[in-house]
Amino acid sequence: MENNIRQLRKAAGLRQEDLAQALGVTRQTINAIENNKYDPTPTLGLAMRLARLLNTPVEEIFHLPET
């Protein structure tokens, strides 16, 4: 699953550390998610918190790669 977190985070003026602290995860977790290396895919709860924090619908944050 791909995501737009890096672009949305930067547009919000947040550092990885800021986003991690607001979500209660590590900066390494944010880095792994942004680089599509987080396994498993973020939980629904984390995805919903990201959407709320970034003021963006989940569907605009996470998407399946084009096939």
pLDDT truncated to tens, each residue of the chain (67 aa)? 889 999 999 999 999 999 999 999 999 999 999 998 887 778 899 999 999 999 999 999 998 888 6
Q: What pLDDT sits at residue 42?
A: 81
Q: Does residue 40 have a cis peptide bond before it, meaning omega lies within 30 degrees of 0?
A: yes
| Spatial distance between the Cα atoms of 14 and 17, rounded to a whole number of angstroms | 8
| Report field, pTM of the whole predicted structure over 0.75 | yes
Q: What pLDDT sits at residue 39?
A: 76
